[in-house]
Structure 1
């Protein structure tokens, strides 16, 4: 066996561990090749296999698999025409489980179907050769449940690719089918499927239904040396009524494939498992380069048609009016929501689980959900959605007089979704803070009002706040008037103002205590009277006034001796609590004024017109002004002695 030098990179997609007894159940496969480097003649070869992963079709992937590349028939070795040019094994790579897609939006595949895929890869050097090569992979056997071939459990599976001389010369790559093969077809429902392929070189592709292949070689299980050329392969034995063009029971709408697009259509009317082969031919400039085949086991079953519309909703615990809608529908392909705001055209959504914020609270809305609109499986439901009342943060306070205690309480409302309030945080706007539901603060008069903030936190973590203007009652402009000077024994009129009610003290010197202007008659030289003024809001301010009651007095000696000895030569007035002398007159015994002055500091030296007066008794009379502004008079006798 002539094995060429090779570089092997192997990747596989698998399903489950391997059971020797059931290793034969392959349900499909395909081959491909790709030119990686023309100068090096380096190619990547791929074998994609499918097995069942549940039930009677359960099987394990082979590890490894064996692939052979043969010379063309025209250039076979005459002595041993069955001898392959290259033979290599491919180890098992990781596997992938196919999605059970019904390709019908209203139908759901049963859970009993499970298919896994493994993609084996190997990189080989393949020199140019007249006539090209054949790549082949063979395996025994097919599943016994296949409905369109004879004795399927004894029929092998074979795939091959002809790598033509022209394909080698142009470093061609074979087409590769784009999509996974369909795992299920729904009984009695039209089936449309894109079975097209991708071509790396952009060549023209033509599609057709073709024969599934077996091989003429008595080997069971793994074919370790697939030592027959493609000439020995043959079609699987189709049961009567079936062939490659009619591989499935569908008398009304039989299976067809568009030769240009690769779109496969059929309406199966009989449940079962059918082998179907799709061939894609690659042409370049009218020349055939490669024919690639996918051979797969199609399963026809009754699909599920379960669908209904339903939803729940949850108000957001913190954001007022925000509702999260939870789509609990079954069989959903797409949705249409109407949130029942009659004045809006934007109150809709196509999201599966949308959010919507309502602008009004405490109301009911008829919310409608439609699923699968425009499909046969359309359904809808309308439910009443109640928007909870919005939470409210409010401040209540008892307005107080400035410098008095202002008490605060919260007037907050929270709904059942917000949770109970767990924290109250106050900022009074004057630098003061507090915590609790009911608090107090003393405000000064530096501002005419204060911006007080309350922030609440609920047990669900919601935070909200409010800022309110807090003012106060000003103090009355209580004024007790100007300080007053009176003569002792006289009364002073007090002048209170600036308040709504008044209270004077001490009461014993007043003719009334609860009027603005009482009469004060103090008995002491200096008395302070206090006035407590009260505004109509009950705010009070204290002021005071001084009443100075003084006793006026002028003392004049009873005699003096104006004899020039500088001792008691001049008689003077001695004023007490006198601010001004209006006149002082001294009379002799004949009534003649011998001295007159209005100067409190002037005195009589016992002369009149420069002449000493006789010894005797003289009469004086004076008029003075007290500090209170009243007149003070007096008279008496003085003796002039020598």
Structure 2
């Protein structure tokens, strides 16, 4: 018997050495296989496999589906995986994402499903036995809720071409749409699971069993066996159905009895209301019968329902209202029977119908505006609702309570003395239609506050203030009223400091204005009694000449109130001496340390000198010897007969000087006289001393860094005596203040 497949491959077992083993295979969430008769015993087989698109560390679609064809009547006991009727490797043709369902008023979580497509042709001669074309793969999604050990449970997708179907060149029905990949928990499900049959045969739908296939073995050589994760090729029937978690789950109640999942056998309409969150394996079978009632084919679609919480996007919200614990919106209107409602419902783009309804005088009154202005006939309580998209899944309702109360009006007056600082008396004049005001809340505009009905308040400082009264009545209705006040009185008493002053000229005096109330807004004029004036609140003024002075202060408020005070003989300024002295020499030194000071002060009767080195003198013109070099701060303090003093400070720099001399000849003949060449002078504080002596050929005959080390006429003071003659001498050193010194001379050696 001739067997032909349009795509021929070696038996799949030979590929086992080429496959990556150990890859997680937990990814399958469904599949379906259908066939179409092309004529001449040729069939086109279509396999669709579905996987979890969000699965991590999971297997992808098989690049080649290992397909087996068995020719038997459902129990192929005489055949095995090694001896199928025919086997082939069908390539993966396409991978697409299954479209998510559109929930117009719900936001489902992110779920992704991918579809892998395999399609191939087979030539199968007519046979009195059925042809079973099968593909097997492990494993299913590990998070499935309704079957036992889902991570170890595989799938078998197959189609049976019965002898009756072969005789009439029948094609199996094909499901029209893929079920929704997400179902919102608590939302009614209604899905058209119908199929289309090319020949128009009668179709009968039912909830049925899914089939297991393959195992969880991932290692070679078992990977491609019937117990392995990827049987290659598929094993022969009969195929085992999957094991549901009983008693709550079964093929006809795959989502539990609460979901009440049902399918219309004639139309394929799948209905129910999934309640429990989770992932559920569901299978739908469609049986095809000819006009004589013969069963031609059964097509099983295996898929996974994902039941998830979905957030609503339509919500009825009433703005500017208090929400009670019972989720009731409460709107209170005091003195106004017309309520302007604010509709803050969302998402507005999904809201097609909105209706406001209230019970007024026992009758329901409705409004279909988005934000109506509703006039209620009288004070009282009115109950109503805002209803969005009534009688739809996208609907929502807000309960509303409107309280209409009598009006309340805040009012008050005040009294105070415009020019004299003192208390302000506030008088409440508020009224309420309820007849009972319960609370008064005053703020005086400067941080002060009161809860009395008629408070008395003293402003501590002047200014323009906005006193405000808020009143509340027995219905919690409130009203607020503000009445500005200009509070600019002049001080009842002008107080300044100092209250008396006696001091020496020149006298710098800070006049502190302690009067209250005053501010920068007031016009203030000071007259200091010597012709000087100022306009600041608290000035500082200098009296240059001795004398007694009267001070006057004049204050005018921003509203024209005026006051002034004269402080007679407030200030007494005493005469002061003027310190002054000179000294010689102008540049004393360690060589000339004696300094003579000459008094040049005026008006002094006593003198005091501090020389800055711990010693003093009270002579008018003393003489002082500085014992060390450096800069000294010499201070002269002179005293007037009035007792006033003056001080003069001058800096005196005692310079450290050096003196150094080199001889021009010496006689190193060891007679004890002039046997050594050595410089002389004053080198106190000098550093970096260096003496170099060279002969006429430039050869160094002596060198030292010690100013007290002389040359004895020998080379380096240790060799032979140098011959008589003239030698060049160079001496350098750094002075006490960093000055560089250099001395050159000619030294003549004579014996």
Interval of TM-score (by shorter of Structure 1 and Structure 2): 0.3 to 0.5
TM-score, normalised to structure 2, is 0.39
Tell which structure's C-alpha radius of gyration is larger: 1
